[in-house]
Amino acid sequence: MPDGHLITKGETELAACLAAFAAAPRAGVLLCDIDGTISAIAARPEDAAVSQPFREVLAALTERLGLVAFVTGRALEDGRRMIPIDGAAYVGTHGLELMAPGGEVLAEPQAERYIAAVQEVAAAARDLDCGALGIVLENKRTTLAVHYRLATDAARTRHEILTRVVEPARSRGLAIGTGHFLFEVRPPLPFTKGTATRRLLAGGDYLTGMFCGDDMTDVTGFKTLHDWAARDARRAACALAAVTAETPSPVIEDADVLVRATPGVYLALTRLLAAVGG
Ligand SMILES: [Mg+2]
């Protein structure tokens, strides 16, 4: 596919951002979601994988930029398993867990007291006929993801999830997040990919940032990055959305650059690598 078809909007914005990275690579930060952004969406989360070309370009960027961080809804260790790169930072469970480039893990201590309630909801969810309903449960201890991409009758499956998982979770004081064919039960704490992005950006004298994402949870990262850039005229920021036919409209509205998922992300990352001397 010609390059022009992979980047569907924001060529000028992307070029300006790459020039800012090129001017000072060590002041550059790349924040990158995993599923749907650098790995194609799979029906079961365990089947998703990051391809070798993505691994190579991201490893090379980690050597050259000030910071590369993978910001995922998966548990932190699961994110590291998918894209293991020494020197990268990892944010797991939408900001609940953060691993610095040196390996130091900063968990959200307040989340511990919600684990029992999340596990009660997980036990109730396991009582659903998950096979027949097309439900895949992903128990991340402090959160529970309920995927239903495999449902043949999505309306019926959603109804079952709402009555048997979402309502019991709310009655226990837990919060609910949503995504592509996904409900997530989580502690009612103000952590998001945006709060994690703020912590990462505060960790150095960075001037340029790029956030690559594809789903509603990434919009908090896009907004945080834009707010960070707006506070200092020397800073530049670029929010890049990996787009499919399923992309929620806020993701498209808040992005500066739109690319086709996932080859367009690969193209943008290879251009970034070339811009910083790779
Ligand atoms: Mg994603």
User: What band does 3 get if pLDDT is binned at 50, 70 and 90?
Assistant: low
CATH code for the part of the protein at 111-186: 3.30.70.1020
CATH code for the part of the protein at 3-107+191-275: 3.40.50.1000
pLDDT value, residue 107: 78
Which tens digit of pLDDT belongs to each residue from 214-240?
A: 999 999 999 999 999 999 999 999 999
Which tens digit of pLDDT belongs to each residue from 84-139?
A: 999 999 999 989 999 999 998 887 788 889 999 999 999 999 999 999 999 999 99
Interval between CA 52 and ligand 1 midpoint (Å): 18
Tokens of 188: 């009612």
Instruction: Using alpha carbons, select from 57, 9, 32 the residue that is nearest to residue 269.
Output: 57
User: What band does 45 get if pLDDT is binned at 50, 70 and 90?
Assistant: confident
Q: Say if residue 2's pLDDT is above 60.
A: no
- In the chain, list all ranges with CATH 3.40.50.1000: 3-107+191-275
Mean pLDDT of all residues in 129-155: 95
Q: Assign residue 172 a region: left if phi > 0, alpha if psi is -120 to 50, beta otherwise? A: alpha
Distance CA 121, CA 199 (A): 30
pLDDT value, residue 224: 98
Mean pLDDT of all residues in 153-162: 96
pLDDT value, residue 132: 96
Distance CA 27, CA 11 (A): 22
Instruction: Using alpha carbons, select from 225, 270, 223 the residue that is nearest to residue 69.
Output: 225
Quick check: 270 and 57 in contact, CB under 8 A? yes
Interval between CA 241 and ligand 1 midpoint (Å): 10
Distance CA 141, CA 92 (A): 12
The residues facing 19 across adjacent strands are none
Please report which helix (H) or strand (E) contains residue 120, including its range.
helix 115-126
User: What band does 10 get if pLDDT is binned at 50, 70 and 90?
Assistant: very high
Interval between CA 162 and ligand 1 midpoint (Å): 22
The whole model's pTM is what?
Answer: 0.88
Interval between CA 180 and ligand 1 midpoint (Å): 9
Name the percent of the chain lying above pLDDT 70.
99
Interval between CA 154 and ligand 1 midpoint (Å): 20
pLDDT value, residue 91: 96
Catalytic-labelled residue, pool 3, 33, 127, 215: 33
Interval between CA 22 and ligand 1 midpoint (Å): 27
User: What band does 7 get if pLDDT is binned at 50, 70 and 90?
Assistant: very high
Mean pLDDT of all residues in 200-204: 95
Residues constituting the chain? 278
Which tens digit of pLDDT belongs to each residue from 72-88?
A: 999 999 999 999 999 99
User: What band does 152 get if pLDDT is binned at 50, 70 and 90?
Assistant: very high
Give one DSSP letter per residue of 40-60, joined into a string: ---SSGGG----HHHHHHHHH
Mean pLDDT of all residues in 189-199: 93
Q: Say if residue 32's pLDDT is above 70.
A: yes
Interval between CA 215 and ligand 1 midpoint (Å): 5
| For ion ligand 1, residues whose CB falls within 5 Å | 33, 35-36, 214-215
Q: Is 256 a catalytic residue?
A: no
Starting at the earlier edge strand, list the strands of the sheet with 7-9. 7-9, 257-260, 236-243, 208-213, 28-32, 67-71, 89-92, 97-99, 105-107
Distance CA 100, CA 204 (A): 12
User: What band does 4 get if pLDDT is binned at 50, 70 and 90?
Assistant: low
